[in-house]
Structure 1
Amino acid sequence: IISLALWLRGLESKLRRLRFIRLRLSRVRNTPCGSSLPSMDSFICSTALLIRGRGSSVGVAISLLCGATADQAGRYWQLAAAAVRTIPFALMNFPIASRYRSATQPNWMGLLARSGLNPTAPPRLQFCRTQIDMKRSASALIAAASVLIAAGSMAATRPHYGGTLRIAVQAAPTSLDPADSSQPDSFTRRNLSRLILDTLVDQDDRGRLLPAIATSWEPEPGNQRWHFYLRPGISFHNGTAVNSDNVAASLRTANPNWKVFATGDSVVIECDSPDPWLPAELSLPRNGIAKREGGKLVGSGPFAISHWDPGKKLELSARDDYWRGRAFVDSIEIEMGRNFREQVIDLDLGKADVVEAAPEQAHRAVMEGRTVQSSASFELMALVFSRDPQTPDEARQRQVLGLSIDRAAINNVLLQGSAEPTGALLPGWMTGYAFLFPSEADLSRARQLRSEIRYAPSWSLGYDASDQLARVIAERITLNARDAGLSVQLTNGGAADFRLVRIPLASLDAALALTKLAENLRLPQPKLTSDASSDLYAAETSLLESKRIIPLLHLKITTAAASTVKNWTTGRDGSWHVQDAWLATEKP
């Protein structure tokens, strides 16, 4: 490239020695695209207009090439009235060619003439004839040089293998086993499972099922017994082949209520009741296929465990023999138990490549120029009561609380507009009917209902003391409730009348997400016969009418990445797409 730059400087000197021949007056033909010589207006001008964009350095070289072609034909390129000016080439910052102005200004005299009118004769215009006194290949070399320099720049950003991706997270799980029910569900646990384990079935960002370890599946009549046919040639990290026996053993551990049988190259799963959503459930990270030996977890995923310090640090190494292809990065280091402030400091100091961003800090991270990726609204924040209402007044009191909460103000002020206020359990992008459940505050209606309650006892509201966002939102809820005539006291102890919770949705499949949501909150299981919107709406309405839960917001999962991390993306469900990410060699 240096040699090419020297050659271009010499070429620039030659161009400066070009002499303009004397101006001559010539009568020209006016066209809608500008004034030009009759023999070149339809070829040269139109060609330049199509191939050269404004401000394009590469286009300059192409325009000179057209100029050389016109010169060989004995024609001369039309210059702007202000003569010629040079422009710097963006990559190397020195002039490489003269920029000719494209003939794009309309000529109304020409338009009148084409319309059959008799305008006065156009004035005689001045043109500069520029003789290009170099070989025919010179202009072509300029174009080739521009392309080569651009290609060199693109090569610097080409994906390549190597490096260690450093990730910081807030959660601190003490077990990597997805079947360990003692560990709370979190997006971090799900992503760690996806790095280590494969599932029988996958889901894309639209919730469509895709083959994974299982290449195909089919139910027996009634949807209670399913057959899953396994893909050959897959192995665990220790080299053991993935077969029907260890797949069946893994699923039995994660789902004790299932009857799982190994039959040749397939697995048969029998549920307690008909389950048309079983393939979607098998795509959940908790159903990742694992081989458990001596307290150690071995998977068949894209990364193998090289070091594990429970609750503190996890080190993974990329598998060269992974059946879907090797990841770009060589290894991943995940620091756990880092709060949002510590993660931002790690990112600023270059100690982390990818960090989590708090919902209220997502907008600021974008304004600071960070590479920010957000999921869809995939986490529900809601108020959950510990039991059903015992009297009509208690049910009405819960209704008053729901009407008093200003969700829009909470979102705009506390979350900087990063969430979606909601009165529904599932987000609108998933179901399409969330707008049917009102989420706007109605203080006058709340006060009217409060006046009809003879006795409204004081309530206690619990929240996660380690969650700063939950604390400030809980405080706002108590103020809203007071405006409606209710008394709510905050507590971070174990016993509370209702709690402010954050619940990650289980699946991109709406029916499965609603079923798992009710299961996790110990609500009555919705009766779904299909995944039709009408059935989903009826089931969700039934859950809300129980007065056990008051939806507030749907939150997004946000990550921020350093400039050296390329192609880092997250799915709509907050999943990390680590397979496609790679590390650039240049410094940020």
Structure 2
Amino acid sequence: MHRPRLSRRTVLGAAGLTAAPALLAACGGTGTDAADAPQSGGTLRAAFAGGGADEVLDPHRVNLFADAARAKAVFDKLADLGADMAAVPRLAESWTADAALTVWTVKLREAVFHDGGPVRAADVLYSYRRIADPEDTFRARQDLAPIDLDASTAVDDRTVEFVLRHPLAEFPSVLAAFGAYIVPEGATDFTAPVGSGPFTFAAFEPGRSFAADRFDDYWDGPALLDRIEIVVADEESARINALLGGQVEYAHDLSATTARANEDNDAIALVASPGSNMLGFAMKTDRAPFDDPRVRQAVFLLCDREQLVESVLSGRGLVGNDLFGLGFEHYADGIAQRERDVDAARALLAEAGAADLGIVLDTADVGSGFTEAAQIFAEQLREGGLGVEISERNADTYWSEVLTEGQIASYRSGAMPIASHISQRLLTDSPTNVTQWHDAAFDDLYLQLQSTADETERQGLYDRLQQRLHDEGGYLVWGFADWIVGTARNVHGVEQAPANTLDWARFDKVWIA
């Protein structure tokens, strides 16, 4: 059954959340203003787009940003990602490798779960073995594939010895994989989850609301907030209106258009992390018409990326080149920027016998600018002679449906290491392979890359993989948007950070003054 969207008036009422004082419009605001010393206390209410009534609190099943924000509040990983996509220690105090890069020793810091039990090496191995279960589809499974978990051992309660299947110079990034959270040994029921994160679970209503309270024994120091509440508001208009109306103090994922309209609004503060949100379209490479690389190449050439950045992002973004990770480590910036060429696209379509091709473009209101970008892109494709029908799918089920269904779909991604993007989305058995890219030679080249210790040689392999994707892949990446959140003026400590990195949605360091 389709779940109605929350409007500005119903966000708090439907979720049953607590009341809060009116927003402050005083000077100060988000960030680390020296005039505003951190203060303890209060509840922060944050509005995120959700995933409907099927949402769960199992941290190994995170998919949407709301899932990740909830998991981050309750759980911890061994490492997380800095803004440059380098691994930053979290539950792992340190990591060292042997000379062959095949055995990595991870020392755990002193930390406890919410029930008082210590975080042990046995909990780490249990968590990773659960994620790696071949009978399930946990998102981080492919990231953990280099680890031989049968051979890996707990040396003692605070030391894990990871034995790898092959040399891996970038192993610390594995520890920071999206969804690779540590749960207590034996945990299978997450209706009232126990983690080691900065907040303890309090309440959850799938598709509507979540609440968690400060954990005083958190290893990184108690959170400043007493409570964090996450409320579902799928439509961006509902999120910004709830913020402006005082129903929430944090609105996640705002569009450039909304940011421009509110940049002089004294009632709120905007925090933008430039170029951290990839936007594009995903073509299914295993079925007609996009199983023909000439058709994919024609679609690449019909896209006017500059128009999309200017129109959809109000110019607040960077033009993409059909590759993930612009500006990140290992990005192949030597590949020439693709330019629009309608005549060349028409010739490719004619050669493929697809001059009068009709396609269905799937989209939904699940992200800022999604439907607008689909409409503009459809017109660009029509200029090349393609017939395009836009299909508006149900926002609640969009991501699960387009993973396996359809021909081409609107797509976006937050930040992650390029290696994680490849392992999670582009290998034959990747769990979120939305383009259905299946190529044994590509898989083998990625395995070779992982096993290459020399940084120059490894970069050369990254370049080869990305050149192949640029030439024949199924991701059309037209731009990189600023990642924008809005806060009440009395909220402080929200950092500029790409989505899915350490400081994104890091509510334990936020305070209200």
1:322 and 1:499 map into 2 onto residues whose CA distance is 41
In 2, the alpha carbon distance for the partners of 1:472 and 1:391 equals 24
What is the CA–CA distance in structure 2 between the aligned matches of 1:277 and 1:243, rounded to whole Å?
24
Offset at 1:451?
Answer: 5.1
Any conservation in 2 of the 1:165–1:333 contact (CA below 8 Å)?
A: yes
Show the counterpart of 1:580: 509
How many angstroms does 1:191 deviate by? 2.5
Please report how far the alpha carbon of residue 304 of structure 1 lies from its aligned counterpart in structure 2 after TM superposition. Answer: 0.9
- Identity, % of aligned positions: 21
Find the counterpart in structure 2 of residue 284 from structure 1. 177
Greater relative contact order: 1 or 2 (C-alpha under 8 angstroms, separation 6 or more)?
2
Q: Which residue of 1 aligns with 2:275?
A: 377
Q: How does 1:378-417 map to 2 (within 5 A)?
A: 378-388=276-286, 394-417=292-315
- Please state how far the C-alpha of 1:315 moved relative to its aligned partner: 1.0
Structure 2: distance between partners of 1:354 and 1:191: 12
User: CA contact under 8 A between 1:407 and 1:439: conserved in structure 2?
Assistant: no
**Paired position in structure 1 for 2:406:** 496
- Structure 1 Cα separation of the partners of residues 278 and 365 of structure 2: 18
Counterpart CA distance in 1 for 2:355 and 2:160 is 56
Change (3 A) 1:178 1:274: farther
The amino acid that maps onto 1:537 is D
> Cα distance 1:429–1:440, how it changes in 2: closer, same or farther (>3 A)?
same
Deviation at 1:449, TM superposition (A): 4.0
The 8 Å contact of residues 169 and 335 in structure 1, kept in 2 or not, is answered as yes
Deviates more, 1:288-297 or 1:563-572: 288-297
Unaligned stretches of 5+ residues in structure 2: 1-32, 134-144, 394-400
CA offsets 1:472-497 (integer angstroms, 9 cap, x no match): 22222221112122223223466532
* One-letter identity of the residue aligned with 1:263: V
Give the conservation status (yes or no) of the 8 Å contact 2:332–2:462.
no
Q: Counterparts of 2:211 and 2:496 in 1: how far apart (Å)? A: 21
User: 8 Å contact 2:355–2:386 — kept in the other structure?
Assistant: yes
Q: Is the Cα–Cα contact under 8 Å of residues 371 and 563 in structure 1 kept in the other structure? A: yes
User: Is the contact made by 1:389 and 1:395 (CA closer than 8 Å) also made in structure 2?
Assistant: no
SS of aligned partner of 1:297: coil
Distance 1:288 1:561, change over 3 A: same
Q: Which position in structure 1 is the counterpart of 2:47?
A: 168
- The match for 1:302 is 198
Residue 419 of structure 2 is matched in structure 1 by 511
Deviation at 1:388, TM superposition (A): 4.5
Deviation at 1:456, TM superposition (A): 3.2
Question: CA 1:455–1:177 in 2, change beyond 3 Å: closer, same or farther?
Answer: closer
SS in structure 2 of the partner of residue 342 of structure 1: helix
Letter in 1 for 2:485: T
* Alignment RMSD: 2.9
Deviation at 1:273, TM superposition (A): 4.3
Q: Indicate which of 426, 430, 440 corresponds to 2:339.
A: 440
C-alpha deviations, 1:249-293, integer Å up to 9, x for none?
122112226514322131233444444333212113411111226
Alignment partner of 1:243 is 2:120: yes
Match of 1:60 in 2: none
Q: Of the two, which has the highest radius of gyration?
A: 1
The alignment partner of 1:436 has SS state of coil
Letter of the 2:317 counterpart? A
How far apart, in 1, do the equivalents of 2:204 and 2:342 lie? 52
CA-CA distance at 1:540 after TM superposition:
0.7
Q: Secondary structure at the match of 1:579?
A: helix
Q: How many residues align?
A: 425
CA distance in 2, matches of 1:515, 1:231: 28
Match of 2:154 among 262, 283, 298: 262
Q: Which residues in structure 2 correspond to 1:40-55 (within 5 Å)? A: none
**Cα distance change, pair 453–513 in 1 and its aligned pair in 2 (3 A):** closer
Q: Secondary structure at the match of 2:122?
A: helix
Q: Which moved more, 1:526-535 or 1:403-412?
A: 526-535
Measured against aligned partners, the alpha-carbon deviations of 1:163-182 in whole angstroms (never above 9, x if no partner) come to: 111111112461122212xx
Matched, 1:558 2:439: no
* DSSP-derived class of the 1:165 partner: strand
User: Is the CA contact 1:393–1:455 (under 8 Å) kept in the aligned structure 2?
Assistant: no
Match of 1:460 among 354, 359, 376: 359
Paired residue for 2:380?
A: 480
- Distance in 1 (CA, whole Å) between partners of 2:373 and 2:221 is 44
Unaligned 5+ segments in structure 1 are 1-153
**Residue 568 of structure 1 aligns to a residue in which SS?**
coil
Task: Identify the match of residue 469 of structure 2 among 539, 543, 556.
Answer: 543
Letter in 2 for 1:466: D
Q: Which whole-Å CA distance do the structure 1 matches of 2:124 and 2:242 have between them?
A: 39
Cα deviations by residue, 1:417-450 (Å, 9 ceiling, x for unpaired): 2332211323332146436342432234334444
| 2:371 aligned to which of 451, 457, 471 | 471
Q: What is the rounded CA distance, in whole Å, between the counterparts of 1:229 and 1:491 in structure 2?
A: 50
Say if 1:481 and 1:279 are closer, same or farther in 2 by CA, change over 3 A: same
Contact kept, 8 Å, 2:235 with 2:365, in 1: the verdict is no
Deviations 1:490-521 (A, max 9, x none): 2346653222222334x2x3333443342332
Is structure 2 residue 231 aligned with structure 1 residue 335?
yes
SS across alignment from 1:463: strand
Q: How far, CA to CA, are the matches of 1:446 and 1:227 in structure 2?
A: 52
How far apart, CA to CA, are the structure 2 residues paired with 1:294 and 1:455?
51
Question: For residue 8 of structure 2, what is the aligned residue in structure 1?
Answer: none
Aligned partner of 1:226 in structure 2 is: 104
Aligned letter for 1:191?
Answer: A
Structure 1-normalised TM-score?
0.66
Pair 364,535 (structure 1): closer, same or farther in 2 beyond 3 Å: farther
* Counterpart residue type for residue 199 of structure 1: K
Which residue in the other structure is 1:534 paired with? 460
Q: Which has the higher helix share?
A: 1
Q: 1:472 to 1:263 in 2, by over 3 A?
A: same
3-state secondary structure, aligned to 2:211: strand
Q: Secondary structure at the match of 2:277?
A: strand
Q: Is the 8 A contact 1:377 1:557 kept in 2?
A: yes
Say if 1:463 and 1:492, in contact at 8 Å, map to a contact too.
Answer: yes
Q: 1:226 to 1:408 in 2, by over 3 A?
A: same
Give, as a single letter, the amino acid of the residue that structure 2 aligns with 1:373: V
**Aligned letter for 2:412?**
R
- CA distance in 1 between partners of 2:130 and 2:290 (Å): 44
In 2: Cα distance, 1:391 partner to 1:499 partner: 14
CA contact (8 A) 1:393 1:454 kept: no
Using a 3 Å threshold, how does the CA distance of structure 1 residues 392 and 169 change in structure 2: closer, same or farther?
closer
Q: Secondary structure at the match of 1:179?
A: helix
Q: 1:155 to 1:445 in 2, by over 3 A?
A: closer
SS at 1:440's partner residue? coil
Structure 1 CA distance for aligned equivalents of residues 489 and 290 of structure 2: 57
Q: Is the 8 A contact 1:475 1:490 kept in 2?
A: yes
CA-to-partner distance for each residue in 1:151-198, whole Å, 9 max, x for gaps?
Answer: xxx997332111111111112461122212xx5x22332222222111
Q: How does 1:90-101 map to 2 (within 5 A)?
A: none
